[in-house]
Amino acid sequence: MKKSGFILFTLIALFTTGKAQVITGENVAIANTDNGQVRGYIHNQIFTYKGIPYAEAKRFEAPHKPAAWTGVRSSMTYGPVAPLLEPTTSVFDEVEFLFHHDWGYTSEDCLRLNVWTPALDGKKRPVMFWIHGGGFTAGSSQELPSYDGENLARTGDVVVVSINHRLNILGFLDLSAYGEQFKTSANNSILDMVAALQWVQANIANFGGDPNNVTIFGQSGGGAKVNTLMAMPKAKGLFSKAINESCAIRANMLEKPETQAIGAAVIAALGIQPNDIGKIQEIPFEQLAAAGKIALKKVEDQMRADGKQLSAFGLNWGPSVDGELLPYQIFSPEAMQLSKNIPLLIGTVKNEFMASMGSGLTHATMDEVVAAIKNQRGDQTEAYLAAVKEAFPNPQMPSDLMDVDVMFRPGSVFEANTKSAVPGGAPVYMYLFTWQSPIMDGKYKAIHCMELPFVFNNIARCEEMTGGGPEAYALAEKVSKAWVQFARTGNPNHPGLPQWEAYQESNGTTMFFDNECTIRHHHDQTLMKLLQQQH
């Protein structure tokens, strides 16, 4: 028997006896890419590849295809993550127990992706392209255990891809005024994502995926990146569906005058002359990050002095309208037309960033909760409480009244209203994840990121967040199937859920994901109107 035949026979034998866990070897899980062959491993019948280079780039320059390699490239562990402005040196013990981060190791050479697939068989499976959270400044494809794509690939028969890309000052410093080589520098981070999607177009068929059926999905900062790609002409045609989890914010992106002012302030802080701009590529990252902090504060102060509107978070690194890569604001008519044919699944979790957490009021009395709300909302307290009780009529504890998300839900409703109103456009589906985690006596409720173990069907990997009980497993099957069905067809309906009609401003249709999944219409319309009046 030839060596390749023996290996295949061994794999089949292991799979059919149910004893296979991790299968590795010099000739195991070898796949072709247009840059050379890669070798992964097989775990529980899923072919896994990590740290594959999808592009490379000099600092502040556009990404391009990586150099080809000879032989077989070992691709069995996660690649480097983008450097952080503030490296993690300490954590809050209880919160870290919940999230269980994997910080990875950093390098500016971080343009890597990971692939999970059921087989290298030529079958055209839906591709689910995951974009991590962390705003535009932090995070990675391995940061949370929920991000692991193995279970989603196996239970959904899909190909899962996740990426690392440039972040913070490395991905968004606008040096376009200083030479053609830096022309795209204001949005290189988003251009990295385009390069990764182009890699998928060129290579994913070799991993059993369909390049013509790619869904981009992301949570928190990843959801904002999804929105950005939908408004990017260069990304058009690289994906056919989009999912935005917990990050629809109405704030406008910065434009060229502001981003170029930040760039000028950075080189001034570094003491670099414009005619010697090349030096900026050699500055140590820590020094560069410090100069960026000074520059952001300087420009923010100037914008405030000029009476320009800023978000509550002030200035930070992120995408901007540069006139070419991103010619439109995210929710402009032009951007909406660009993504007209892209079905959208959008939603939030019930509690996101809970007010009770920072104030120690999780298990407070009703009087204490009302006093805290009154301190924030003054004479609108009674109207606010009435609106919250109308939206969620059965609070389990008094702090539920102060922990309803008012950060991302309004933006998600605005985006769903805006996109669903595009004449002849693709459908929008809205959800709200309301399931309450039992961890720490229910303290963490449906906190920001809580839906992720359910989306990826990763309850076992995320017991610290979910408790790992039977109700969590049952809901994860329903949620992950909805995401897979949406990726497959553009419609999240499946037999395990009540009928889920497309969202329109007129119907307000929202799927509530909980131990009992239900459909509600305009459940928080009064609350949304109240919040809109306050702004």
Q: What is the C-alpha to C-alpha distance for residues 193 and 531, in angstroms, rounded to an integer? A: 34
Annotated active-site residue 522? The verdict is no
Q: Which of 143, 258, 352, 415 is catalytic?
A: 352
**Residue 90: CB atoms within 10 Å:** 6
Give the closest residue to 408 by CA, choosing from 226, 220, 185, 279.
Answer: 220
Q: What is the C-alpha to C-alpha distance for residues 328 and 361, in angstroms, rounded to an integer? A: 42
Residue 515 main-chain phi, psi, to 5 deg: -55, -35
Annotated active-site residue 448? The verdict is yes
Contacts of 305 (CB under 8 A, 6+ apart): none
Q: What's the one-letter identity of residue 14?
A: L
At 99 the three-state DSSP class reads helix
Q: What is the C-alpha to C-alpha distance for residues 332 and 42, in angstroms, rounded to an integer? A: 45
Contacts of 205 (CB under 8 A, 6+ apart): 122, 124, 211
Q: What is the C-alpha to C-alpha distance for residues 52 and 77, in angstroms, rounded to an integer? A: 9
What is the rounded (10 degree) CA torsion for 222, 227, 233, 237? 70
* Residue 382 DSSP label: H
Annotated active-site residue 464? The verdict is no
Q: Which of 43, 165, 448, 523 is catalytic?
A: 448
Q: Which of 176, 220, 339, 420 is catalytic?
A: 220
What is the C-alpha end-to-end distance of the chain, expressed in Å?
74
Residue with tokens 């309450």: 436
At 5 the three-state DSSP class reads helix
Give the closest residue to 516 by CA, choosing from 471, 485, 456.
Answer: 471
Give the closest residue to 95 by CA, choosing from 355, 357, 350.
Answer: 357
Tokens of 288: 């560069």
C-beta separation of 432 from 500 below 8 A: no
C-beta separation of 120 from 33 below 8 A: no
C-beta separation of 22 from 131 below 8 A: no
H runs (alpha helix) in 363-406: 366-377, 381-391
Give the closest residue to 236 by CA, choosing from 335, 167, 111.
Answer: 335
Q: What is the C-alpha to C-alpha distance for residues 441 and 434, in angstroms, rounded to an integer? A: 16
H runs (alpha helix) in 401-445: 409-420, 439-442
Residue with tokens 């950005």: 228
Active site residues: 220, 352, 448
